[in-house]
Amino acid sequence: MLTFHLMRYLFFTTIFFLFLVNLTAQTPSFSISELPAMPESVANNAVVSAMCGDTLCVYSFCGIDETKTPAGIHLKAWRYNTITQIWTQLADVPDDTGNGKIAAGASVVNNKIYVIGGYYVEDNFNEESSDDVHVFNPETNEWEEDGALIPVPIDDHVQAVWDNSLIYIVTGWSDTGNVPDVQIYNPSSDEWLEGTPTPNTSDYKVFGGSGDIIGNRIIYHGGVRGGFGFFPTAEVRVGNINPLSPNLIDWELMGESEQGNTYRAAAITIPSANAVFWIGGSSLGYNFDGIDYNGTGGVEPTDKITGFIGFTSAVTFQAQVIHEDFNVLPMDLRGIARVTTFEEEAQTGIHQSIICGGIDAGQEVSDQVFLINSENIISVKEENSDNALQWSINSNDLTVNTPEAPSEMKIYSVDGKLILQSQHSQTISLSALSKGIYILSVVLNNSNSVSMKFTIE
């Protein structure tokens, strides 16, 4: 992968040559291998990674066991040490009801884990959404006092972190139906903010959808519509967060994924590629017991990875999945554990994450743990130098030498956040940038996009 280095402080004009490099959404290949199994089979468990001292650990909270009955829903918690590869059972999730729950989400902010929402199932199959926020400290290995109650109890929601500071809870099921609510939790103040809700339509309101945040964009896909039949959907939706007022969100539909419906898949971002990937899941909706809502029987996993990628446009595709000694990716996933950091992915082009448990083919609740690995998520193509685009730096201003001013220039951080932008100008200032790796995207007047990574040292 090409890397360009820019010196931060230049007191004279220097001319450089920038080879045209196109970040293209090729169909990536994921290799998947097996890690030590969990202590017990579990599905619909909230999964996330966090640092325990200087060791990365994977955590699993709540879920349902191999019986797939209300009695099999629990509050168990486990930790996997990625160095020793040993699983350890932790203290149960401290839910005041004492009842087990499923369909919760787990997020990490400043290395504390927040287990949010979920639902309880009574013996008569009545369901109740949870309004709890449970807080786990990986450093002390203890549960702390619960956070403020969720204003609208929620389960099977989209849950993602913005700017390592706010946790967004988007749509989901609340007791009697899908809701358009966007509920934003601020761990530092232990307060909930009301975000701009999604449009109040079945294109947006779903349960069992999943997604993540890249920079200032919430991207979520799939899920099940409300109403009679609980029909699954293939829609991809984007919410553009106002970074100055992060409770303000502009929503738009990107259309249906060409790869079809997705329900209870694990979602992970690779910001250096501006991509979200949905791993595993099913194409049909089903109840907690794995039975299709239409009553036709047990649902099977689809065994696919679907991607959404592109700095200037939306592209969806199905990635190639290379299995090693197992048959399919599971469904009934409620989270994924990141192994590589954003910076490592930007520097090496390699992404790694871990999924735990779920439901396998044949409706078997799984204890399997898979390491998901992909290299070269974005391909870098160097064009002929005869077509090189000239650029220069003078007093920290970067100027591209094009016949006409580009329609747009943007600089992103490696985690996908938009840092700087200029329109209809050949110059963009770098003076506000600190040392680090960035991505420059230039949109020319013919709508062609040229992107590159560069480093400020």
Longest CA–CA span in the chain (Å) reads 77
Report how far residue 404's alpha carbon sits from residue 206's, in angstroms, rounded to the nearest whole number: 45
What's the fold here for domain 29-377?
Neuraminidase (2.120.10)
In the chain, the N- to C-terminal Cα span, in Å, equals 18
The 10 Å Cβ neighbour count of residue 232 is 24
What pLDDT, on a 0 to 100 scale, did the predictor assign at position 300? 96
Displacement of CA 59 from its chain's centroid (Å): 16
The domain defined by 4-24+380-456 carries CATH number 1.10.10.10: no
What pLDDT, on a 0 to 100 scale, did the predictor assign at position 7? 31
What pLDDT, on a 0 to 100 scale, did the predictor assign at position 18? 36
Q: Pull the structure tokens for residue 369.
A: 């743990």
What pLDDT, on a 0 to 100 scale, did the predictor assign at position 21? 37
The domain limits of the chain are: 4-24+380-456, 29-377
Residues with pLDDT less than 50, the chain: 1-26, 311-313, 378-388
- Check if 4-24+380-456 and 29-377 are the same fold: no
